Amino acid sequence: TSSLTAAGLSRRRYVAGGQCKSTAKLEGKVVIITGANTGIGKETARDLARRGKVIVACRDIAKAEAAASEIRAETGNQQVIVKKLDLADTKSIREFAEKFLAEEKELHILINNAGVMLCPYSKTADGFEMHLGVNHLGHFLLTFLLLERLKQSAPARIVNVSSLAHHGGRIRFHDLHGEKSYNRGLAYCHSKLANVLFTRELARRLQGKSHRRVEFTANALHPGSVHSELVRHSFVMMWLWKIFSFFLKTPWEGAQTSVYCAVAEELDSVTGQYFSDCQPAYVSPRGRDDETAKKLWSVSCELLGIQWD
């Protein structure tokens, strides 16, 4: 049995993946994490609250307050603040940004973490397909609205939580909102590919504007297969998740790469990259297609009615 236990432990360690070793403090720094009331987002907030001020931006205020008070009690940091943000509604995103900019003079780290997965076909308040609307367009708009504050606070970082699922995605410009054909698994993959392409194009644009050392970075990541509430829309996935839970990361393990991308000193001037298990990871050929990235950028601006040059 001892060899079985050892095998079990080494498999567990393999599943757990990389760990963020950085002890960087974020004194006087401000972090926003979207969807930080549960799962990976909550664990990311818990870690970063040991380092600095964290703004938990969530749709469900009651859940967010419960998570925040738990984190405040555990870390002793009273600077864990809840703000309402519904990424499925551009009006809510604009209100959140407006309030934040009025109240906070600085923003050093923006973690676009919130996401929906495997939703039955539905649309956001603005008529966008739900996966694309929340996972990509909502975060695209939020980043746009907060960009100047991030720039003024440089060195600053943008961290986009994508997924290995981006390998199965494609940007279907002829049917972005899935009105002609819809598959919820693929819709999730498409939105995660959009995260990778957005990160790539954002990094390219930010680098083009700065001639000195990169002070302002944007990176994407795959957290791993994590035991979280993200699969709540699919009975089959919930069932599979239960059976294979031994092979899934805990939310704490899943948060490690988000934390790494947010604080690791060695990433100070690394931008436009994609990480998994706290190290660079392989990006699908579609995720490296600069033409698609540029086109997605302009289509996103058009859909959101913004000018972002």
Q: For residue 219, report the phi and psi dihedrals to the nearest 5 degrees.
A: -135, 155
Give, rounded to a whole angstrom, the gap between the first and last alpha carbons of the chain: 62
Residue 111's H or E segment, with its range, is strand 109-112
The lowest-confidence range among 17-26, 108-117, 247-256, 299-308 is: 247-256
Q: What pLDDT shows up at residue 30?
A: 98
The pLDDT tens digits for 125-174 are: 999 999 999 999 999 999 999 999 999 999 999 999 999 899 999 999 99
Q: What is the pLDDT of residue 27?
A: 94
Using the 8-state DSSP alphabet, how is residue 246 labeled? G
State yes or no: is 188 an active-site residue: yes
Catalytic residue among 14, 188, 274, 282: 188
The whole model's pTM is what?
A: 0.91
Residue 118 pLDDT: 86
- pLDDT at residue 241, rounded to an integer: 47
Q: Are 254 and 42 in contact (CB under 8 A)?
A: no
Q: Which residue has the tokens 């972005």?
A: 176
Q: By the 8 A CB rule, do 126 and 90 touch?
A: yes
pLDDT of amino acid 213: 65
pLDDT score of 249: 77
* Per-residue confidence band for 5, with pLDDT thresholds at 50, 70 and 90: low
C-alpha separations of 13 from 17, 147, 193, 248 in Å: 7, 38, 28, 11
| Angle at 35 (CA atoms; ends 175, 67), nearest 5 degrees | 160
% of the chain surpassing 90 pLDDT: 79
**All structural domains of the chain:** 22-303 (3.40.50.720)
